Amino acid sequence: MASPAAVLPVTAQEIVAAYRHLYRHSLRAVQFSKPSRFVIRDQLRAAFRDPKASAATFDRERVRRTIWFLKAATQEAGLESRILKNLVRVRWQREREQRYRTWKVLLQKEKQMTAKSPKLPHPINGTEYTHYDNTIAMLNDTMGLCLR
């Protein structure tokens, strides 16, 4: 049987409170370090502004478990803090790759790829983060978290 809290509709105040709790505990977990805090801020904004995510998909239990995870990452330099540090580092690297993809860089890469093997596309192109994304999705499913 579902708990009574899971049946109640989600209010806008509850969503804002979840955002603030997640943001506050995330900042504490990364100790307010400069590149990390901006990555976390951008990730949370994107997650809460996502048109696919609505009040219907909001899960109180996942938010609560994610806050527990962030508290554990704050308290001790253990597995949780290493996972969070790697999540932030990979997200920062992805954003950096996207930011510096000018048309000149893309044209140079395309020329290099066609010069090496003009007939076949490179097998890794576009799939660099597939395994990583699947691993994070499985971590979220097994632990009931909402990490990105």
C-alpha torsion angle, residues 131, 127, 89, 72 (rounded to 10): -20
Predicted local distance difference test score (pLDDT) of residue 99: 79
Residue 109 confidence class, pLDDT cut points 50, 70, 90: confident
In a domain, 75, yes or no: yes
Angle at 139 between CA 128 and CA 17, to 5 degrees: 110
Show Cβ contacts of residue 78 under 8 Å, excluding neighbours closer than 6 positions.
72
Average confidence (pLDDT) over 86-115:
81
Cβ atoms 35, 42 nearer than 8 A: no
Instruction: Give the DSSP letter of residue 2.
Output: -
Residue 61: domain span? 8-117+129-143
| Overall number of domains in the chain | 1
Across the chain, mean pLDDT equals 85
More confident residue, 116 or 104: 104
Task: Look at residue 60 and tell me if it is in a domain.
Answer: yes
Give pLDDT tens digits for 59-88.
889 999 999 999 999 999 999 999 999 999
